[in-house]
Amino acid sequence: MAAAQDNAPIEYEEIEPKSHLNGASQPNGRATLPDSPSEPEPQTPQPEHNQNFRSDGRFRRILYFFARVILHLIIWDIVGGRVPLLKMAVRQSRPRRFRRWSHRFRELALNMGGVMIKLGQFLSARVDVLPPEITEELLGLQDEVTPEETWRIMSVIQAELGDTHLRFADIEAQPLAAASLGQTHRAWLLPENGEGERGTAPSTSATQSRRSGQAVVIKVQRPNIATIVETDLAALRIVARWTMRYRPIARRADVPALMEEFAKTLWEELDYRAEVENAERFAEMYANDQRVYIPAIYRQHCAERVIVMENVEAPKITDIAAMEAKGIDPGEVAEALLDVYFDQVFREGFFHADPHPGNLFVRPRPDIPWPPEDAPMPFTGRPFWIIFVDFGMVGRVPTLMGDNLRQLLISVTQRDGRKLTEAYQNLGFFLPGADLVRIAEAQDAVLDRIWGRNLLDLASPDPAEIEELGQEFRDLLFDFPFQIPQDFIYLGRALGIVSGLVSQLDEQINPWYFIEKYGESLISSREGQRLGLETAWQLIRPYLSTPAQVQRLLTLAENGRLRVQTDRDTLRQYERIEKKIGQLGWSILGAAGMLSGTLLYLNRKGTEKGERDK
């Protein structure tokens, strides 16, 4: 869900562990919820005016826009980039052209809404693979979504839940936040006792004293959003097939498969019943956690297109000034966020896949007295909760993928480029036939250079170092034997967003501490011990087999079959020398042939002249 509107300072009540309307209180303020939502009251829903979005031009507008972008890239970057006189102009104009097209896409997305905004939000978070002129221009799509008209949203709530007066004391018409697929509104449930019990219309006094009921947030899908998503995805699937006609893209990414993964996650976001299940799973994961708070879900008020949850408004995780004003150390928040995500990915295999600032809040813990007695000023280090909301987009790590991710983490901890390359290969990051030995050498070189550096250093690498690495491994850069695994589309996005958030909170944070922490934890586990033993065996095995190898070498030497292998650089030099020798040999052979032909020709001419003289 997009970030809350910033037109007024946020004021909030402290979260207290409490009993919810539908269950007993639980640790961290969560409740045991009923197994299924209650049946809605009989209703006569207001029609939502379903439309054929293909006939109104939406489908054609999407295809037309991307066709223009692709045609522009073909003319300028593919064809123009190969013309010697235009190469420099194409390169220099690229940032300006990318920014212009990104601005046009942003305007199109804001005008059309739906999947186009979701796609823009997804691209804006890929700071790891897209140039800054694209991500910076699309960043506004996180907060600039136009809200739906109130009467249309209320018609959806009424269609799903029946008469809202029988459930809510009041619902604010002004949306709290607007997103691509839905929006949220503040509301207050009717009190449990007295006026306003379920099935009794509220009196005027009950409406006036609305804040006496439980404060909640209603998340509502936009009208006709399923039809809009279906139309947009149909157009984007055609665009995905277009991109596969360009060989460099087709070789490194199955764009239609990535598109299907994107579509699958979108449909999951529209399944609000699945989102309720996801929220409850996160609540179980963090039931006894001192750092994470998951809002309660009120199942009896949820439906297919409506979710009612506890109101947990608080400053966004990027609001550093608000944290410091409350005595919260942003550096501690950064460490906690990294710790939580390492735990979700490497231990639980179940992670929040949309951690942008509108879905993460930070709030002081009201159950711990603050400030501490006799503490010196200023007061810092106040205990806090990181609050997660919006559980429609979640990621799951399959067992095989999880095994390789853990091997990857252990390999980084041990700085073992060979095992790291093996883990990447098993995860599908390399094209068939990739030079794994050379890639492992590059991994070792990179690990040696970046190990121990903070995020600020990693985000601003030394250009001389980059150039040196590029020169050393220019063969890899030229071949570029890498591809995008389908299963990593949302894990990579989530980790990219978290990395960006952490760098905003604390540029000096050392991510290697957490890598070593979890790597060592995995190594000490039974599975980690197995992976560690495999690594140790790979290191020890050559020494254990040395006597047998010596005997084999002697045997080969005696039989005249001994061949000597040298290092890769020397082999390349030999290959070049061999090639030159081969070229020289063919040149000598060609020259000899020409000389022989000339001599034969002269000899024939001499013979003919002698015969004529006779």
Residue 367 and residue 293: Cα distance in Å, rounded?
A: 13
In 10 A of CB 7, how many CB atoms? Answer: 6
Q: Give residue-wise pLDDT tens across range 272-298.
A: 999 999 999 999 999 989 999 999 999
pLDDT tens per residue across span 520-557: 777 776 554 555 545 444 444 444 444 444 454 455 45
Compute the radius of gyration of the chain from its Cα atoms. 32
Residue showing tokens 């910033």: 6
pLDDT: is 502 or 568 the higher one? 502
Check: CB of residue 234 under 8 Å from CB of residue 227.
no
- Contact partners, residue 597, CB within 8 Å, separation at least 6: none
Mean pLDDT of 173-201: 73
Is residue 465 scored above 60 in pLDDT?
A: yes
What does the DSSP assignment read for 40-77? PPP--PPP-----TTTTTHHHHHHHHHHHHHHHHIIII
Give the start-end residues of each E strand in 268-421: 292-293, 306-310, 350-352, 360-364, 384-388, 394-396
Residue 338 contacts residue 511 (beta carbons within 8 Å): yes
Tokens 């006026």 belong to residue: 195
- Strand spans (E) along 110-248: 168-171, 177-178, 182-189, 215-221
- DSSP notation for 84-95: TTTHHHHHHHHH
Q: pLDDT tens, 467-524?
A: 787 788 888 877 778 877 767 778 888 888 888 888 889 888 877 777 777 777 777 7
Q: What is the pLDDT of residue 500?
A: 82
Question: What average pLDDT does range 445-463 have in this prediction?
Answer: 73
Q: How far is it, in rounded angstroms, from Cα 546 to Cα 551? A: 9
Mean pLDDT (the chain) is 76
The domain spans of the chain are 27-32+149-222+271-395, 58-147+226-269, 397-543, 565-595
Rounded distance between C-alpha atoms, residue 422 and residue 403, angstroms: 12
pLDDT digits (tens, 9 = 90+) for 578-602: 444 444 444 444 444 444 454 445 5
310-365 residue pLDDT tens: 999 999 999 999 999 888 999 999 999 999 998 999 889 999 998 988 899 999 99
Residue 357, both tokens: 């600032």
CB 142 within 8 Å of CB 358 = yes
Evaluate if residue 574 carries a pLDDT over 60. Answer: no
Per-residue confidence (pLDDT) for residue 410, from 0 to 100: 84
- Position 606 confidence tier, pLDDT thresholds 50, 70, 90: low
Residue 33 confidence (pLDDT) above 60? no
Predicted pLDDT at 413 = 81
Label residue 2 by pLDDT band (50, 70, 90). very low
Lowest-pLDDT range, 222-231, 438-447, 585-594, 597-606? 585-594
Q: What is the pLDDT of residues 398-409, one digit of tens each?
A: 877 888 888 888
pTM of the model: 0.70
More confident residue, 570 or 400: 400
